[in-house]
Amino acid sequence: MKAIIILLTVLLAGCGPKFKFNSPAYIDSAFRPYVACFKANYPDVSGKLGITFGSEDEATGRCNKYMPNKKRDIVINPFDWSISSAVRREFIIFHEMGHCVMYIGGHDDDTFNYMNSNTPIGETILEHREQLYLDFFGEDYELCDLSFDEAT
């Protein structure tokens, strides 16, 4: 049993300190518009990705990768989500999908980009949003309309 726990710990990578199994195919309705936006710019999103709310005691977001079946899920801190603007919510989802979908392993905290682990405030993101998209998705990006979110 101890060997199984050690093996699972070694095989799992995440963006937060805790690990929890969540439904690997369910995406909470709060996240679906952001996922659709991500997919519009990066269509290689498989059906094995789940995104749910987790605990308020955890990091803002975390990507869990389950090996060897390649299922992935993202867990979002509900308190951080509730106090975030729409552009900050987009930043959180894009950051975690960078880990879970684009397989970006680490963080780039030296530059302002979606893989920076220090999630900035909404005004800063809004001011640089087009450059963030360009750097993350390339020249053919489609800037998403966030008017669906009341936190805009």
Domains of the chain: 2-137 (3.40.390)
pTM recorded for the entire structure? 0.79
Q: At residue 136, what is the residue type?
A: F
Q: What percentage of the chain exceeds 70 in pLDDT?
A: 79
* Per-residue pLDDT at 93 exceeds 60: yes
Query: What is the spatial distance between Cα 64 and Cα 117, in angstroms, rounded to a whole number?
Result: 16
pLDDT per residue over 21-69, tens digit each?
344 468 999 999 999 999 999 987 765 788 999 988 888 999 988 766 6
* Cβ atoms of residues 106 and 78 within 8 Å: no
pLDDT at 151: 67
Residue 131 host element (H or E): helix 122-137
pLDDT at 46: 62
